Amino acid sequence: MPELPEVETMVRDLRAHLRGRVIVGATVRWQRTIAEPSARAFARRIRGHRIVALTRRGKFLIFRLRAHNVPAERYLLVHLRMTGSFRIEPHAAPREKHIRVCLRLDDGREARFRDPRKFGRMWLVDDPARVVGKLGPEPLKISARTFHRLFQARRGRLKPLLLDQTFLAGIGNIYADEALWHARLHPLRRVESLTRAERGRLYRAIRRVLVGAIALGGTSIDVMYTRLDGSSGAGQNSLRAFARTAQPCYRCGAPIRKIVVAQRGTHFCPICQPLGIG
Ligand SMILES: [Zn+2]
């Protein structure tokens, strides 16, 4: 499932193809992909907009759109959820069956949203805050000081907090496990029991795993995530905990253990990541 590094990679890949292009038409092949407005209104309203910028917020892609002679911007927000991805293909090329939405461009190509499992969603809105307004800060944009402050009034277990998008935006199951391994913190540690030094380790670990994964083009642990050209990322080669059940810990050699936390498979080293304060 795409997380911050995979979405960031997708945005960077798309930018080269889409920035400056005008959307001359849209086809919605699976209506529920369009969360807002209706599929019909989406296709009508998006036509004629130029894509002036592509950015990311948490796990959302954000297309900034501007229509000719209209000062106000509109925004296309996309959440890939489990299996969403984009393809850029000639308009005349056959559309394979998992393509849910096509945005026809003024250069004869189409940006095609491919989504086998159909959980991906798109919003066409005037104010992106209506969709992403409740997200927590971007983990790569906050200072250590701000990070420490995020823990005020937070209670509970550590891994569910990392998955909470109102705490930090963009971290999912893979990078939560990876950050906790690097920080040597047990996924079930009580958040309120963390020392300042431990929070500092966590801050550095989160940044390290996210920056590293972006540099590798994201993590393709299964067929859920592929890049714009259909290739895989390379982040799976540097995983230290995630999907390494029973394999030796890179630090101490103990077998990585898998448990279920917040209904998610959770991987950690029982020696390096003890539950007690350490
Ligand atoms: Zn270990």
Ligand 1 centre to CA of 255 (Å) is 8
Please say if 138 is a catalytic residue: no
State the catalytic residue, choosing from 3, 8, 110, 178: 3
State the catalytic residue, choosing from 116, 264, 270, 274: 264
State the catalytic residue, choosing from 56, 57, 59, 74: 59
Instruction: Among 132, 164, 194, give the residue marking a domain's end.
Output: 132
Token pair listed for 164: 């909470």
Domain of 238?
144-268
Helix 196-215 crosses helix 173-183 at what angle (to 10 degrees)?
130
Please say if 264 is a catalytic residue: yes
Strand ranges across the sheet with 99-105: 23-28, 99-105, 109-114, 85-90
Please say if 134 is a catalytic residue: no
Ligand 1 centre to CA of 152 (Å) is 29
The pTM for the full model equals: 0.95
Whole-angstrom distance, CA of residue 188 vs CA of residue 253? 21
> What's the start-to-end Cα distance of the chain, in Å?
32
Would 46 be classed as within a structural domain? yes
Q: Are residues 93 and 161 in the same domain?
A: no
Number of separate domains in the chain? 2
Element (H, E) at 214: helix 196-215
Q: Residue 10: exposed, middle, or buried by beta-carbon count in 10 A (0-12, 13-18, 19+)?
A: buried
Q: Mean pLDDT of all residues in the chain?
A: 95
Span 200-205, average pLDDT: 98
Q: For residue 146, count other CB atoms closer than 10 A to its CB.
A: 11
Q: Are residues 125 and 13 in the same domain?
A: yes
Ligand 1 centre to CA of 111 (Å) is 44
Please say if 64 is a catalytic residue: no
Q: For position 277, what pLDDT does the model report?
A: 54
Q: For position 278, what pLDDT does the model report?
A: 44
Whether pLDDT at 91 is above 60: yes
| Residue 212 backbone zone (phi > 0: left; psi -120 to 50: alpha; other: beta) | alpha
